[in-house]
Amino acid sequence: MSSDFSFGSAYMKGRYMPVSEAAIPVLDAAYRRSDVTYDVVGVRDGAFFRLDDHINRFRASLTRLRMTPVETDDDIRVILNRIVALSGLRNAYVSMECLRGAPPPGKTRHPSNCESYLCCIAIPWVSVASDEMFRRGMHLIIPKVRRIPPDSFDPTVKNFLWGDFTQSLFEAEDAGADYAVLLDAEGNVTEGAGFNVMCIVDGTVVSPAHGALEGVTRASVFELCEELGIPTEIRDISADELRNADEIFTCTTAGGIMPASRIDGRILTNDAPGPISSQLRERFWSRRAEGWHATPVDYSVVAG
């Protein structure tokens, strides 16, 4: 076994290994059926951001999908700390994942016959937006593809069923845009490929009430709005309301707050990140630098 953790590290079934050695069997329903749930927590400057919020959301997803890995929440905390420490990374993308497992030979493929298990990885920080997108603002479209209905799969359970998102990325590329914001069957805004959507209408920061992951970054935005005295609302947003919003931004762990400057070709805020979105983004990173919701990584667990 190699001991090169410089590209990241992984944990699986009680073992720690370089991420390049972590592999899943082709008969695992995680691969064959995308039967997986996961959560991603960021590490910046050697500290996790809102670690407990991510573990709590992960546990809720596990319960919802009837997955029962052997590790407790405390075990998960120890594992995540250890994989980051092994990698030595100060800025990392840390994912806790639960795979359904493969049905044992001779049994049917029913998911209750499988033993679910954890796979956790820590890899160098990944951002969904490039430096150029941050500078000029994100170019968005509203694609033809609609979000999988919440009655078919609950979007508050973080999952790998990305068929709709993947199609939206190609639609965005074909339109010369960066990303797409998907609507639900009723024509209301949901979310995009790995991010929540927020818009600013008459000074109020608004985000969809239904059809999206309850994002940890979005919750942080609401806290920042409260600190700054900016009103907020969670309610339905129609496609036209989004297109005509004063400002739009998206938000996610892997990128923070990402202001948009165009939607369906309409130019917002002089084709640049809007003032309230930019204020929130600056505040987000300055609060993070102060240690807001931070849990320092204990790198000494692998010292010596």
Where do contacts with ligand PLP occur on this chain (CB under 6 A)? 40, 158, 191, 194-196, 212-213, 215-218, 251-253
Instruction: Provide the minimum distance between the beta carbon of 210 and ligand PLP in the complex, in angstroms, as a whole number.
Output: 13
Instruction: Provide the minimum distance between the beta carbon of 218 and ligand PLP in the complex, in angstroms, as a whole number.
Output: 6
Burial (CB count within 10 angstroms: exposed 0-12, middle 13-18, buried 19+), residue 243: middle
Place of tokens 């069957």: 185
What is the chain's alpha carbon radius of gyration, rounded to the nearest angstrom? 20
Question: Which residue number, 253 or 261, has a Cβ lying nearer to ligand PLP?
Answer: 253
Question: Which residue number, 80 or 213, has a Cβ lying nearer to ligand PLP?
Answer: 213
User: Other CB atoms closer than 10 Å to residue 41's CB: what's the count?
Assistant: 25
Instruction: Provide the minimum distance between the beta carbon of 40 and ligand PLP in the complex, in angstroms, as a whole number.
Output: 6
Instruction: Provide the minimum distance between the beta carbon of 216 and ligand PLP in the complex, in angstroms, as a whole number.
Output: 4
Question: Which residue number, 40 or 98, has a Cβ lying nearer to ligand PLP?
Answer: 40
Residue 42 CA to its chain's centroid (Å): 10
Question: Which residue number, 178 or 191, has a Cβ lying nearer to ligand PLP?
Answer: 191
Nearest 5°: the CA angle 85, 89, 93 is 100
Burial (CB count within 10 angstroms: exposed 0-12, middle 13-18, buried 19+), residue 70: exposed
Instruction: Provide the minimum distance between the beta carbon of 192 and ligand PLP in the complex, in angstroms, as a whole number.
Output: 7
Classify strands 9-12 and 117-124 as parallel, antiparallel or unpaired. Answer: antiparallel
Question: Which residue number, 86 or 94, has a Cβ lying nearer to ligand PLP?
Answer: 94
Question: Which residue number, 16 or 250, has a Cβ lying nearer to ligand PLP?
Answer: 250
Instruction: Provide the minimum distance between the beta carbon of 126 and ligand PLP in the complex, in angstroms, as a whole number.
Output: 11
**Token duo for residue 56:** 């709590």
Main-chain phi, psi angles of 110, to 5 degrees: -60, 135
